[in-house]
Structure 1
Amino acid sequence: MAKKSRSGHSVSQDLPEAELEVLACLWNAGALTAGEIRKQLESYRPMAHGSVLTLLNRLSEKGLVKREKSGQGKSFAYRATRGPKSTHRRILQKLRQRIFGGNSVAIVASLLESQPTSPEEIEELKALIERLEQNQNLEDK
């Protein structure tokens, strides 16, 4: 069953790229004004202030952001209402199926080989693999 927004409209499982980029700003920074979002997006998606407000209003209609007084004059700060994990999972599942033929190892290898991996990241990956192995062992019992 499709999720419903506060206005009763179905919330799409797929967000347009521009809406997703605005949400990513909020996930990374917490609460931001429309002007702050515009500045963060400026280097790769320049847009007018009104366009950012339109995207924020759409996300608000979908129940994905909420607005609150920013304390900076008449402006509002916007905050994501949920974390990024479910969206990340959905995007990666599609990418894995469409581009990598369902092969999880291929997508991870591609990510790791596309740029240098720090020693800290390698340690995090080792810990993740250990957790996955432990969970698999628990499921096998």
Structure 2
Amino acid sequence: MAERPSESEMQVLAALWDDAPQTAADLTARVGRANGWTQATVKTLLARLVQKGAVAAEADGRRYLYRPAVDRDAAVGEESQRFVDRLFGGRVSPLIAHLADREALTDADIAEIEALLRKLKS
């Protein structure tokens, strides 16, 4: 993605990753109402996502069908790396240390991290 989607745009994109194609009306029912967005707001978010190249629109009679134009894993990878770069100098261990210091890691989280580390070492 050339330009990073906003938080609101990411909610729309996530809904499309979960189920596509969808119309603006579908997306308004799915994510718009929960956020207090009108269909006009959802259409604005979709137009921005289309302009950014994150969503593709296809005419279907008098309506448009929207689908993601970027892969979820790739987008999550880019966003994760941006986050780690910006806040932790590109290093993951300070992020984990920060979460541990704030007691934000559950026992299940710790077990998953340990399993990932064992997998990386093998």
**Would you say same fold, with TM above 0.5?**
yes
Deviations 1:24-54 (A, max 9, x none): 11112332222222233232x3211011112
Higher share of residues assigned helix: 2
Aligned length: 118
The runs of 5 or more residues in structure 1 that have no matched partner are 4-10, 135-141
1:88 corresponds to: 76
Deviations 1:79-102 (A, max 9, x none): 102212222122222222333343
**Counterpart among 22, 27, 35 of residue 32 in structure 1:** 22
**1:129 matches 2:117:** yes
Quote the sequence identity (%).
Answer: 27
- Find the aligned partners of 2:114 and 2:28 in 1 and give their Cα distance: 34
Q: Judge conservation of contact 1:18–1:55 (CA < 8 Å) in 2.
A: yes
Give the structure-2-normalised TM-score.
0.69
The runs of 5 or more residues in structure 2 that have no matched partner are none
2:51 corresponds to: 61
**1:46 matches 2:53:** no
1:107 corresponds to: 95
- Find the aligned partners of 2:27 and 2:117 in 1 and give their Cα distance: 35
Q: Secondary structure at the match of 1:32?
A: coil
1:22 corresponds to: 12
Q: Using CA pairs under 8 Å that are at least 6 residues apart, name the structure with larger relative contact order, 1 or 2.
A: 2
Q: Judge conservation of contact 2:25–2:39 (CA < 8 Å) in 1.
A: yes
